[in-house]
Amino acid sequence: MAFSLNAVGFIAVSVFAIAALGYLLGRINIKGVSLGTAGVFIIALLYGAIFSNDINSLIVASKTINNAKETVGYASEALKIIENIGLVLFVTSVGFIAGPNFFKNLKNNFKSYVLLGLVIIIMGALSAAGCILIGRVIEGGKEGFDSKELTAMVVGLLSGSLTSTPAFSAAKATVMEQYENAVTVGHGIAYLFGVIGVVLFVQIIPKITGANMEEERNKITIVDTGAAKAKKENLINIDPFGFMPFALAATLGILVGSVKFFNFFSLTTTGGTLLVSLIFGHFARMGRINITPNKKVLETFRELGLMLFLIGAGIAGGMSFLKYFQPIYFIYGVVMTIIPMIVGYIIAKYVLKMSLLNNLGSITGGMTSTPALGALIGVAGTDDVASAYAATYPIALISIVLASQFLIIFM
């Protein structure tokens, strides 16, 4: 018996095998704390590191395009597609779920969300600036030291610590061409703890504080009125599951996210799909037509999307992680993840007087952490925490992009 897998088959088997092992790892529970879906990311990272040569062999392939031979990165493009489809599924689902309560929640807590989002990013940027200065002291006397390369590396670490693809893209576009690889490496090194650190944080804090989750849920849960339910029952469904409105929101969101403002800033796929799905979820109807997918479909897409996103990002990160890893850079990344979370949590609790779940939901948005939101929903036992994530996320998205560019220009 012999196995014969082409590139497509190899990637398909990889995705499902990683998912199976990842969920097994995520199921391990130590004193009430588990990795959950983030276990998929760990397995994907290890898979990318162990099988990097096999994956790379699929990347280099020639194809005749317009009568010229060009190199096509089949595996790398496939991983990007998997990651982006997962991101669209997850974020669009979150937007639909958060939509009904989002604008009311935003109205009640607008100043708190803005302030907390800014505080988290400012603390991240200050931590990055401190790491740059420390790095210059430690490495400044070494032969061949390049301060601009160090800055590019640390800004990449910052985007990885906050798992922010927009910041990563903006940093690569801002640095000189010869420093783009430094940004990429930094992002990959810090991304691991950037994912795991926030996932564990939102699970550990309720344990440390001894929070009563039923009481905390009651502080943020908004119940639909009978009139609202009746209106939904009288609406026309295009399909039984709501796939059509979901697909429409995702399509419009991707288009909105691709629009560039001032020739350098865009909402990206994440911001665009989140915005459009929030609007769809809020209005819930277009005339007599229901534009809200079935809740079970949204919950399924949310989990499926998170899984695919972590697999695509994890394999790609694992392929370069060991090659470029240095302990000091990993430590910088840990610092840039932990300090913003702790400061943000303290300010939200003691200054802004936010309830625990609004606090933690806002932190996942401020840290732009998609996996942490998934973990928090599991801990909280309610989707309502997504409203706090969705309210803080746009502030953090814009702030981290600007902060990354500021660091590159002025450090």
Q: What string of DSSP letters covers 150-176?
A: HHHHHHHHHHHHTT-HHHHHHHHHHS-
Q: Which pLDDT does position 264 carry in this prediction?
A: 62
Structure tokens at 274: 């989140």
Question: Looking at the DSSP assignment, which residues form a beta bridge with residue 289?
Answer: 236, 286
Q: What does R_g of the chain's alpha carbons equal in angstroms?
A: 22
Helical (H) or strand (E) element with 277: helix 268-283
Are 270 and 397 a contacting pair, CB within 8 Å?
Answer: yes
3-state secondary structure of 256: helix
Structure tokens at 36: 């959950």
pTM value surpassing 0.75: no
Tokens of 331: 């430590």
25: Cβ contacts below 8 Å, ≥ 6 apart: 35, 39, 40, 42, 43
**Residue of 149, 200, 139, 167 lying closest to 363 (CA atoms):** 200
- Identify the DSSP state of 350: I
Q: Is residue 159 classed exposed, middle or buried when 0-12, 13-18 and 19+ CB atoms within 10 A define those classes?
A: buried
Q: Is 213 exposed, middle or buried (0-12, 13-18, 19+ CB in 10 A)?
A: middle
Inter-axis angle of helices 370-380 and 180-209, nearest 10: 10
Instruction: Judge whether 152 and 408 are in contact, CB under 8 Å.
Output: yes
Contact between 371 and 303 (Cβ < 8 Å)? no
pLDDT per residue of the chain (411 residues) written in tens, 0 to 9 = 555 666 677 788 889 999 999 999 988 888 776 777 778 888 988 888 887 776 666 655 444 445 555 555 566 777 888 888 988 998 899 888 878 877 777 777 788 888 998 999 999 999 999 999 998 988 877 777 788 888 988 998 998 898 876 677 667 767 777 777 778 778 778 877 888 889 889 989 998 988 888 888 888 755 644 334 445 567 888 898 999 999 999 999 999 988 877 766 677 777 788 889 989 988 888 888 999 998 899 989 988 998 998 888 778 777 766 666 788 888 999 999 999 999 999 999 999 999 999 999 999 999 988 778 888 888 888 888 888 888 888 788 778 878 887 888 887
159 with 367: CB under 8 angstroms?
no
The token pair that represents 24 in the structure block: 């097994």
Q: Report d(CA 133, CA 195) in Å as an integer.
A: 25
